[in-house]
């Protein structure tokens, strides 16, 4: 892709910031946005500005080591996280970080968005893992991101927010929209009693569509993820095997799924739970 002009990239950052703020994905001065200007320079939002009210002239230009080359303001406090993404992903031309509230709630609850629920999400993002908690704006954060960024275009940041990357600014921004939309749907579905999951066989079929439609993905979906699966090299999508079936009704916990359903969710009233405990105590005493 030919480099877009600096003026148009500055305008695109302003527009992406305006959308992030308008949709409530950032509050106050949260979030940051960057894009490759050329092979050796980045254009980046400055620190301590509201992303909803930026002006094209306030952006910073840095090199790939984070040294400021131009701009009146200092670059984003999360610059190191952006630099890490560009180091690990030569194909990434833009990075967006925000705190979309429902996706961030999943990140706070420690629940990755990795269930096979929506065909478009499986086909595009695959899964959305959670990078370990790291103190914002320290070098811990790029280290936490490094684990997943080679194989994922979007991830949650534990107790913090979300991070996406793409081939251009809007591609990275739209992935942020997709993550928040997916989180919202997942949340409501769980309130309604739990998602019906796509079967492993359907997920395999969807993965085949990536090639057919030319959807770029940094890594394949793990064929049958288990506790030993290295999630740095593939995208873990939880989908129970069910040959001949596209949807599986059984609700699952975010933990490992197996044929015995040892991790399947069950519902008990307090009275039933109390009775079970009393029964267990009685058997211990007898
Ligand atoms: Zn943040």
- Kind and range of the H or E element at 233? none
Question: Which two structure tokens, joined as six digits, stand for 42?
Answer: 């980045």
Compute CA 10 distance to the chain's CA centroid, rounded to the nearest angstrom.
25
274 or 147, which is more confident = 147
Distance 159 CA to ligand 1 centre (A): 10
Whether the Cβ atoms of residue 70 and residue 10 lie closer than 8 Å to each other: no
Distance 20 CA to ligand 1 centre (A): 13
Whether the Cβ atoms of residue 115 and residue 186 lie closer than 8 Å to each other: yes
> What do you get for the CA distance between the two ends of the chain, in Å?
75
Distance 51 CA to ligand 1 centre (A): 12
Residues paired with 221 in a beta bridge: 235
- Kind and range of the H or E element at 36? strand 32-36
pLDDT greater than 80 at residue 257: no
Distance 228 CA to ligand 1 centre (A): 31
CA–CA distance, 168 with 47 (Å, rounded to integer): 21
Report the candidate in 194, 210, 53 with the shortest Cα–Cα distance to residue 119. 210
CA–CA distance, 29 with 47 (Å, rounded to integer): 8
Question: pLDDT by residue (tens digit) across 154-204?
Answer: 999 999 999 999 999 999 999 999 999 999 999 999 999 999 999 999 999
Distance 251 CA to ligand 1 centre (A): 32
Question: pLDDT by residue (tens digit) across 7-47?
Answer: 999 999 999 999 999 999 999 999 999 999 999 999 999 99
**278 — pLDDT class (breaks 50, 70, 90):** confident
Residue 164 has φ and ψ, to the nearest 5°, of -135, 160
Distance 171 CA to ligand 1 centre (A): 19
> What's the pLDDT at 265?
60
How many CB atoms are closer than 10 A to CB 65? 8
CA distances from 194 to 80, 116, 185 (A): 38, 12, 11
Distance 195 CA to ligand 1 centre (A): 29
CA–CA distance, 182 with 174 (Å, rounded to integer): 12
Mean pLDDT of all residues in the chain? Answer: 90
Question: pLDDT by residue (tens digit) across 41-78?
Answer: 999 999 999 999 999 999 999 999 999 999 999 999 99
| Residue that is written with structure tokens 């079967």 in the block | 199
Distance 17 CA to ligand 1 centre (A): 14
Distance 8 CA to ligand 1 centre (A): 25
Distance 32 CA to ligand 1 centre (A): 8
Distance 285 CA to ligand 1 centre (A): 53
Distance 137 CA to ligand 1 centre (A): 8
CA–CA distance, 140 with 147 (Å, rounded to integer): 12
Distance 98 CA to ligand 1 centre (A): 6
């Amino acid at each position: 892709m030919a480099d877009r002009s600096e003026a148009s990239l500055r305008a695109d950052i302003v527009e992406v910031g305006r959308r992030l703020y308008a949709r409530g994905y950032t509050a106050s001065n949260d979030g940051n946005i960057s894009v490759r200007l050329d092979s050796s320079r980045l254009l980046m939002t400055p620190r301590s500005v509201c992303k909803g009210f930026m002006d094209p002239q306030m952006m910073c230009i840095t090199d790939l080591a984070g040294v400021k080359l131009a701009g009146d303001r200092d670059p984003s406090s999360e610059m190191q996280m952006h630099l890490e993404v560009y180091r690990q992903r030569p194909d990434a031309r833009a990075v967006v970080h925000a705190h979309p509230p429902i996706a961030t709630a999943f990140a706070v609850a420690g629940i990755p968005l990795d269930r096979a629920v929506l065909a478009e999400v499986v086909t595009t993002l695959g899964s959305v893992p959670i990078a370990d908690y790291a103190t914002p704006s320290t070098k811990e954060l790029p280290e936490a991101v490094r684990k997943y960024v080679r194989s994922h275009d979007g991830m949650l940041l534990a107790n913090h927010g979300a991070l996406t990357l793409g081939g251009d600014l809007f591609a990275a921004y739209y992935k942020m929209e997709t993550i928040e939309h997916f989180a919202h749907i997942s949340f409501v579905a769980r309130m309604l009693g739990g998602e019906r999951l796509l079967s492993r066989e359907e997920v395999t079929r969807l993965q085949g569509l990536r090639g057919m439609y030319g959807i770029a993905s940094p890594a394949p979906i793990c064929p049958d993820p288990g506790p030993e699966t290295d999630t740095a090299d593939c995208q873990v999508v939880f989908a129970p095997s069910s040959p001949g079936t596209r949807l599986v009704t059984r609700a699952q916990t975010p933990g490992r799924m197996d044929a015995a359903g040892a991790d399947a969710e069950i519902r008990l009233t307090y009275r039933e739970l109390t009775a079970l405990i009393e029964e267990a105590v009685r058997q211990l005493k007898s």
